[in-house]
Chains A and B, each alone.
Chain A
């Protein structure tokens, strides 16, 4: 019997011929990523471990994204700690404010993620990178410190769940709607400990940013990894980033999956998740009476150039409702620049949006758009847990960027076709 993509990558990194679900393997890791919120604790633990040098400085990536530009003195110190560590350890892949972005959008963009690699990151959405055919998973700070010190980590080989997608998206419907729909089917622990492998003709037709959105939210079903085997689309994307063609692992035809789910995009509409779980999903029209105080377009889920463009297309020549604040945060500096050059930000600002510099910011209720008591937001982010974006009494709905833009115009949850 053949192997799934996850099994192949883990076996290769443990130096064994094959890996089966349940096997415990010690694997060599290729990339180790941490951010301004998680790296400082890792650094503290690293020192307490008695370690002095990271095993592979060239494997380390450090990204300023969560609380930057520093939102207060404590967060300034977090970045300062990480900056000093990068310098001390000779870590070249250190991304400073103004040359950075949200880690999960930044790593693919910089060509730092390659098919077949094993990537661990001290952030739960590290699974995003699986969209480029690697095995990428989130870990905590202590685990990350151990990976720095040893260059390896133990893994329990996960079962793999296969999602087969056919058909084509209707106008305004995106991979965000697909993953929200799947979360509704699977529930927030439907893929717990499992790898989720997306495939089929509709996935092959998706550009990389749409694939990143899909794998990004695999964690919301509890998954260890979201993965898409690399194909011509992946290789072309990497080639643009100076990554030479490589032999990307593919799942075997006779691989064994714990479950196969088939989705036909021809039957998929716009979806919205209501508070307080990303799996609480219904068609967008079910929420047309919900008034919102804030709309947020950004995050590692939907802060890509195409997302900003989709929002601008809906907002062009229209205005944000007087009762609404629209906050837009491009995911990376490069996306920010290209959105300026293409006039996307001009459209958004003209419509009444507040555009911020790339950061996690509002997504995690950190800064740049924190919600007050009882406030309601619609966001293009990945999570709507209680208090996620601010006060514990606030409520967050999740949707794609076109729905977000229509909602900002109407002041209540709306679809582009609901606009006058």
Chain B
């Protein structure tokens, strides 16, 4: 995400993809991205992590990441090489976790109906647009609220807090 551009193929999922299918609990004795990665989405598609290319997008419907608070979920997606998640809406704890661990995610009401499996997608951060290169479409992405933008800009919550603690001299 360094030059602000994300690009990858679309992998489509439905509504209410919960954290138990994103990363079943039997793999949650670790929070290491690399160890979690091979099991990402294994509740729905055990081959998912093996099939995708680094940077690929998950495109889903409503309420992506509902369920448990396990941060292993966004970490597993990162470990598998998922470049971004685009969904109609997100479960609220997943939403905060994604911000905090620096997994790019975007809300788009139309994306899931305007993308086919394997479509080439692109996001240029400064544009606020999701481009479907395969179909020649451009969709507007919702803006992040200011507090959230500040954390994303800092590179995640960890970096944000580190900066604040350093500023305090504690």
- Residue ranges of A at the interface with B (Cβ–Cβ < 8 Å): 24, 37-38, 40-41, 44-45, 48-52, 67, 72, 74-75, 78, 122-124, 126, 138-143, 145-146, 149-150, 154, 156, 188-189, 192-193, 222, 224, 277, 364-366, 383, 385-388, 392
Contact = CB atoms under 8 A, between A and B. Distances in A.
B43 A387 contact: yes
Interface residues of B, number: 44
Contacts, number: 129
Nearest to B25: A364
B70 A37 contact: yes
Contacts of B91: 189, 192, 222
Nearest to B94: A140
A5 B101 CA distance: 31
A378 B16 CA distance: 22
Interface stretch (B4-12, B48-56, B61-69): B61-69
A365 B25 contact: yes
Contact of B28 (A37, A140, A146, A386): A37
B43 A49 contact: no
Contact of A143 (B20, B44, B100, B145): B100
B100 A51 contact: no
Contacts of B147: 24, 154
Contacts of A74: 29-30
B71 to A, nearest CB: 4
B92 interface: yes
Given A24-B145, A142-B97, A189-B89, A386 B157 contact: no
Contacts of B21: 385-387, 392
Given A124-B93, A142-B97, A142-B158, A386 B44 contact: yes
Contacts of B62: 189
B71 A383 contact: no
B66 A72 contact: no
A50 B66 contact: no
Given A40-B31, A392-B24, 7 more contacts: A37-B70, A41-B71, A49-B161, A49-B165, A365-B26, A383-B18, A387-B43
Nearest to A124: B69
A140 B100 contact: yes
Nearest to A189: B63
Interface in B140-170: 145-147, 156-158, 160-162, 164-166, 170
29 contacts: A37-B70, A38-B70, A40-B31, A41-B31, A51-B165, A75-B29, A123-B68, A123-B69, A124-B93, A139-B69, A140-B69, A140-B71, A142-B71, A142-B97, A142-B100, A142-B101, A146-B100, A154-B147, A188-B66, A192-B63, A192-B92, A193-B92, A222-B91, A277-B16, A364-B68, A366-B25, A385-B43, A387-B21, A388-B20
A150 B161 contact: yes
Interface in B91-150: 91-93, 96-97, 100-101, 145-147
Nearest to B88: A189
